[in-house]
């Protein structure tokens, strides 16, 4: 069931995609993180934002 309401879609996108991913261990971290919560590495990247892409 796809979400059609633009306000709800923005909330869902923010909740699912606004994360940082550790390049060392792959753990998901909160957006304001400086170090990984699992391995304490500082090598973080933003989560890739590909919502609604179908192959």
Tell me, what's the pLDDT at 54? 58
Diameter of the chain by CA atoms? 39
Query: Per-residue pLDDT tens for 6-23?
Result: 999 899 888 999 999 999
Query: Per-residue pLDDT tens for 26-36?
Result: 999 999 999 99
Banded pLDDT at 53 (limits 50, 70, 90): low
Nearest to 38 by CA among 23, 51, 49: 23
Q: What gap in Å lies between CA 37 and CA 29, rounded to an integer?
A: 7
Residue 23: C-alpha distances to residues 16, 19, 20, 46 (Å) = 18, 13, 9, 10
CATH of the structural domain 6-46, one choice from 3.40.50.1370, 4.10.1060.50, 3.30.160.270, 3.30.360.10: 4.10.1060.50
């Amino acid at each position: 069931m796809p979400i059609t309401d633009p306000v709800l879609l923005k909330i869902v996108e923010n909740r699912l995609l606004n994360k940082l991913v550790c390049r060392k261990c792959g753990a998901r971290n909160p957006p304001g993180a400086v170090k990984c919560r699992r391995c304490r590495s500082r090598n973080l990247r933003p989560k890739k934002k590909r919502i609604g892409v179908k192959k």
